[in-house]
Chains A and B, each alone.
Chain A
Amino acid sequence: MNGKNGFTGPTGPSEAQMKGESGGGRRVRQPVGKRPAGCAEANTEMENRPDMQRAPRHDSQATGMIDRSLQAQLGRQLRAIFEGIEEEPVPERFVKLLEALEAREKQR
């Protein structure tokens, strides 16, 4: 699925982001508001530093730069979704399906 739109690396904008962007030039700024307070200034500073713009991109390095607590938060949300579904009762259709399969087997 990668490779389309010249997507070549882990930090390139996804196809979806590119599409979303075409709706208006202001979109890229939006995520700024969702960053924890205090980060905006640091970011502006970083944008003005040419050395940051040429930082090499490697998965391990990028991952290492991601805030640990943020990673933990993403992990918790992922598990919350997963476990939320796990806790749901087994839908009746599957119980019936397995019973039907078993019954068919016994007839053979």
Chain B
Amino acid sequence: MNIHSGPLKQALLGLIPNLRAFAVSLCGDVERADDLVQETLLKAWNHLESFQEGTNLRAWLFTILRNTYFSDCRRRRREVEDREGKKAAELAIHPGQQGHLDMQDFRRALNMLPPDQREALVLVGAAGFSYEEAASVSGCAVGTIKSRVNRARTKLTEMLGVNTPREFGPDSSTEAIVARTAGGTRLP
């Protein structure tokens, strides 16, 4: 059987919406996301012999996409860090409407999460992967995925101001900030 026959093209086409959703959630930028999807499709097509038939094509494609994204990130780390710094400044200056979680704020907060935490959260919380599947996509232990998801959730709630860090017990650097904000008074 020709592995490049019509059904593969159809299967790939059918998975593109899902892949795009993952890519946009992961990198927060539609243009870059579509470049990632394109690269993923090319790699998948050219390395189809390494896909084991009968296994999960979606998980395989997600793995290729996230590996592409993370090696891309390593290459452009400097640039990414600069941009995240700017995003952080924006979030600080425009705190959004009071009393409800604004979608723009949520997007910004999501983009500010460390990429590995964002990935875990999106895989489990939006793409519908089990912890085990997410671990296999990310190439890490199930416990690591669980901890990343938890940390992502905690951090999102902190960033969106719906719970203060204090409610979770502050660490020393948080205390320092709180102390400074309170007019330099040192906490016991």
Chain A interface residues toward B at CB < 8 A: 1-2, 5-6, 8-21, 23-37, 43, 46-47, 50, 52-57, 59-63, 65-67, 70-71, 73-75, 77-83, 85-88, 90-91, 93-95, 97-99, 101-102, 105
Question: Given the complex, which residues of B lie within 8 Å of A90, measured CB to CB?
Answer: 13, 16-17
The residues of B that contact A102 with a CB separation of less than 8 Å are 4, 6, 9
Which of the residues A71, A81, A91, A95 comes within 8 Å of B153, measured between beta carbons?
Answer: A71
| Residues 153-187 of chain B, each 1 if its beta carbon lies under 8 Å from chain A, else 0 | 11111111111111111110111011011000001
State the CA gap A36–B107 with chains docked (Å).
20
Q: Which one of B88, B154, B158 lies within 8 Å of A20 (CB-CB)?
A: B88
Residues facing A in B100-158 (CB within 8 A) are 101, 103, 106-107, 110, 112-116, 121-122, 125-127, 147, 150-151, 153-158
Cβ contact within 8 Å between B13 and A94: yes
> How many residues of chain B have a CB within 8 Å of chain A?
79
